[in-house]
Structure 1
Amino acid sequence: MRKLFEESATVRAPVERVRALIDDGWAVRAFLGEDEAASSVDVDHRPGVAGFQGHWWYRGEISASPAPAGTTLTYRVFNIAERGAWAVPLANRLFIGYRTKVRDGVTALARRIEDHLR
């Protein structure tokens, strides 16, 4: 398993409240959408961390850690391909624009969490 991308955003809320949304599946559903979340396999769930996999190469993780301004929400993307890992960048058009998509995704999730917790 090789980490490809990692981006974080600050959530203005206590870490315990954010982790509760990760733990009960709300954050994954909000991030992926109801349909995609239902078709993803939750392969790893520890307190405050949810992992999900899809396609032949992708694993995503959402986690929360304490921060001075509330909580740091982190989204990581891993290449989990057992065979043909070298082909993952080619299959994904060399990931052009993907870092921006990852950053925008975690930022949008942070805002959704804040709105949900109000």
Structure 2
Amino acid sequence: MKLLFEASAPVRARLADVRRLIDTDWVPDTVLGQAGRAYVDVDHRDGVVGFQGHWWYRGEISASAPGGHTVITCRVFNVARRGAWAVPLANKLFIGYDRTVRDTAADLARAIQSHLVGTAS
């Protein structure tokens, strides 16, 4: 498993609350939508949700609190067992992909914050 991309974004919420949300189906539903879930396997470990699909892709979302501030982190891995060298070619050399991962992290952080604030009132 080779890490290809990683991006983090701050969330104004307690780490425990964010991790509890990650451990539910809310995060996969938000990131993938119902249609996208048909194409990937979703798995959970405490505080981490993973998405695996196609022949090479694994994405993981987790939360941590470096310096006491909660951050979510999105990681994209190459898990191809064969032909790992072809992954960049099959994905147009990942041009613009780092931006997509950063945008996903920022959008998800805002959605988590909004969801947790909305459920706390």
1:115 match: secondary structure: helix
Q: Which has the higher helix share?
A: 2
1:34 aligns with 2:30: no
Post-superposition, which runs of at least 4 consecutive aligned residues in structure 1 deviate over 4 A? none
Q: What's 1:11 paired with?
A: 11
Out of 82-91 and 68-77, give the one that drifted further.
68-77
- Measured on the aligned residues, the alpha-carbon RMSD in Å equals 1.2
Q: Give the aligned partner of residue 56 of structure 1.
A: 55
Structure 2 stretches of 5 or more lacking a match? none
- CA shift, 1:38, in A, is 4.2
- Comparing both structures, which one devotes a greater share of its residues to strand? 1
> Relative to structure 2, which stretch is displaced further, 1-10 or 22-31?
22-31
Rounded to whole Å, the distance in 2 between the matches of 1:45 and 1:21 is 11
> 2: distance between equivalents of 1:59 and 1:39?
12
Question: Which residue in 2 is equivalent to 1:72?
Answer: 71
- TM-score, structure 2 normalization: 0.91
Q: TM-score, normalised by structure 1?
A: 0.93
- Matched positions, count: 117
- C-alpha displacement at 1:46, in angstroms? 1.2
Gap change, CA 1:38 and 1:71, over 3 Å in 2:
farther
Q: How far apart are residue 25 of structure 1 and its match?
A: 1.7
Code of the residue aligned with 1:37 in structure 2: it is R
Could you tell me which runs of 5 or more consecutive residues in structure 1 were left unpaired when the two chains were aligned: none
